Amino acid sequence: MGFRPSDEFASPERSFASVSTAGHLPTRGRALSQRSIALGTLALSMFLLALFVVADPARAFVGGKDFEPGQVVVKLNPTIGASIEEINADYGSTTLDKLPGSDGIYLLETPAGSDTQGVVGRLVDDPRLLYAEPNFVAEAAEDHAGDGRHNAWGISETSGYSEDYAASALGLPCAAIASLGQDTTVAVVDTGAQLDHPALEENFEGVARYDFVDNDRNPMERAVGLDADGDGLKDELVGHGTHVAGIVDRVAAAAEIMPLRVLNSEGSGNIFTIAKAISYAQSNGADVINLSLGSSRRSATLQGVIEDAVKSDVVVAAAAGNSNSPLPHYPAAGNGTAASADGLVAVTAVDMYSKKSDYANYGTWVDIAAPGNGIRSTFPVGMYANWSGTSMATPFISGQAALIHAVYGSLDSAGIETKIRRSAQSLALQNLTYVGMLGAGEANACASLQ
């Protein structure tokens, strides 16, 4: 709060969805209002184009770009004591933004017509800076559906929101006896959310929020006719943040949810905007931060703000990505080394048979696995959808962290992750090809509370 967010954006973990009309929320037992039903019916026509054609998962970045052209992120070296004005004077750059609460991290615009990578190369060698990097683009982790198309929508069946295989696999009915995540706050850094969804409005009520895309305090998901990747499909990721928030609610129904919009309706954005949202979440009382997004590029900026968050005992759960690859996916992979209980939880996905989802990334850097296939959750407007991806697995872990925090409030972020890892069920027998590469196993919320 008290700063002007950048108007650039980063992208979420991509997924696919089939939408069902709203009924009621079994977890909370609240009936859907007639007004919401009417809105849901009207919304079908509004969202028809957005529901849902999935882009080729091999495409790493929206619009084919690795970074925002003409933008670099730098961090001043405090032992030298140079000012950002000196840096700008020497390189012809201008300051676009400063990371709030940081020790000299700035977003700069390079001179018109300059080569961004060339400028970064010169800045990296400047001893007055600790680092310089392009403002990398990030994306939401999503599953793919054969030929890349999945557009089943308008299904009237709404059962399974709290009773599908995921609830059983995670031991959610048992966990709910011990904890509902009361007195905890989970920040969902994503495409925003439907703030008045009947299943979620109580979770959002009175909680800090921000839209870092449109620079206001209304992070409502919206379809704006955007086709950032030029594939002819508009607003492909509308509903992603609402779906992720609904999964958090499924696990921790009493937790507050902090919606932070960093991704546009195509699910695209950049690391500086995501870093600002993480800093905002930490400063505004988040106990857990959910990042259903990522990139193949490691960012010193993003890694730094996440390290600051976990040092403040905030658990950060991040999606492992959906390229069916062992290559590190960031920020989930941290510094790219073997997984450890450090408060940053890299989450991959398994199916209803506890087998690695065919799209899910894997490797020694993964911390934990959770259900990620055909997960039913909330969706605009007052509706529900089935969606798949490590984006969906990650909020199960964020919700689990909230449950643990509510019961064991004295644990730090590493201690909460340790409980998540030690209570996991082995996946070795179901995944002989991936032994040691799916983290500690499949999460079990019930066992982690005992």
Does residue 240 carry a catalytic annotation?
yes
- Is residue 391 flagged as an active site residue? yes
Which residues in 388-411 are b (16+ Cβ under 10 Å) and which e? bbbbbbbbbbbbbbbbbbbbeeeb
Quickly count helices (H) and strands (E) in the chain: 12, 18
Catalytic residue (choose from 240, 243, 329, 405): 240
10 Å Cβ neighbour count for 432?
Answer: 8
In whole angstroms, give the CA distance from residue 375 to residue 198: 19
160 burial type by CB count under 10 A (0-12 exposed, 13-18 middle, 19+ buried): middle
Determine which helix (DSSP H) or strand (DSSP E) holds 289, and give its type and residue range.
strand 288-291
Catalytic residue from among 11, 391, 413, 448: 391
Peptide bond into 62 cis (omega under 30): no
Decide: 293 and 274 in contact? Cβ < 8 Å. Answer: yes
Burial class (CB in 10 A: 0-12, 13-18, 19+), 383: buried
Q: What are phi and psi of 92, to 5 degrees?
A: 70, 20
Which of 143, 164, 190, 287 is labelled catalytic? Answer: 190
Give me the active site residues, please.
Answer: 190, 240, 391
